[in-house]
Structure 1
Amino acid sequence: MPDERGRTARPETDCPVEVALAAVAGRWTTLVLRELMHGPASYGELRARLPEISSKVLAERLQALVERELAVRERLAGFPVRTSYRLTPAGRALRPLLVELYRTGARLVDARR
């Protein structure tokens, strides 16, 4: 429920809505999040699950998620060295937002028909 802080003349960087939108901003971000919602995945696994995404964009999205502390990058023991990405609790907390964005988008698509 919005509080009195929600009444501003311009977007503020600490506004909860702006923070939530920034967390999922960027083309492909929601799809990368969706894949990581299923559990940890290596870079190669994510590329296989999202074959249309370029290597550059996937690397950028993963780095952004790590920087936003929504995902962590882990080096796995063994040879060759492998990395795995997994969502943090903050990243997993985005699930209801993504579900609601999907539902809202579906309703908007239906309204256009």
Structure 2
Amino acid sequence: MRPGGQPNMQQMLKQAQKMQRQLEEAQAELAAAEVTGSAGGGMVTATVTGSGELTALAIDPKVVDPDDVETLADLVIAAVRSASDEAKKLAEQKMGPVTGGLGGLAGGLGL
């Protein structure tokens, strides 16, 4: 702060620009990263990007039972949910250092 209690606007602008660059870098890393979740002991696996986009789904043929489609659907949902949870953890890990210093302001800015 300057004498008289006024913040240095140029310094604040520089800091905001630096934070914006860090945020963009973290978002790019998340978009490029992939995480996998599984269910049924690995019988169903789902892969999502760090930003949460489903990119792959693998189903072991042993789990396919035409008379029990509900179980397969449950396993798919569980695998996708598991992968999404991993993506959220990765996002928190990547974005936390960038947005952590903003406190409550980060949410208000949509960061």
Identify the TM-score tier after normalising by the shorter chain: under 0.3
Q: TM-score if structure 1 supplies the norm length?
A: 0.27
Structure with higher Rg: it is: 2
Does 1 or 2 have the higher relative contact order (CA < 8 Å, sep 6+)? 2
Q: TM-score if structure 2 supplies the norm length?
A: 0.27
